[in-house]
Structure 1
């Protein structure tokens, strides 16, 4: 099968220590340049830090402000097509029965020669109910 490979590396050597060994001159040079710049121009760096803080404050109160809108999640109930169809048939049957009852009432009231105030109100109510049933039937189809 496979032979074991034995390495004689120092266990103290890690990835970070190897990267540090490789790039040490660049890190040292960069740190020296930064140190000399901060000692030569301290007010410039202080002003830069203050400007960065002010920009951060302004952005946090304007651009990055969280909206207080509440998100409502609507969950559709599990539907059963057979039950839904049967319920729709039952609703249509109920509306049809109500329509027939109201039609008979309107016919009986219009057959009278003289209507009383109560008959007039009943007729008006029945016609409004018929109109609403007609509207809901046309809306659902």
Structure 2
């Protein structure tokens, strides 16, 4: 089985209801069964998600997400085979918000706290997400 990492960006569709607690519980249940791991960052306006696992399962999940009405303007940033997982123990972690501490971690990597999905370097984005998770644990909900 090839190990694949997919990263996407999307805007939240404000006309759709979003319950992040329910969302992360669904991810926990479904992803654990499929051996998928990852991180979902949600700042109230947009999502950045990293999904890791088998190529077919990652692809199928991404296509379900792309059809989900809670997302708008979804952009695939990267889909590549990798040697190891960045998030091996999390069926899906949720990082919410953009407080001063989160913004500080993010601004070490980017000139602004808004991601431009057309120009972002995915490796740099992954580094920023890892730092934000470590430095802002109060913003992190982990589903194992």
Fold equivalence (TM over 0.5): no
TM-score w.r.t. length of structure 1 = 0.20
Higher RCO structure (Cα 8 Å, ≥6 apart)? 2
TM-score w.r.t. length of structure 2 = 0.20
Q: Which has the higher helix share?
A: 1
Q: Which has the larger radius of gyration?
A: 1
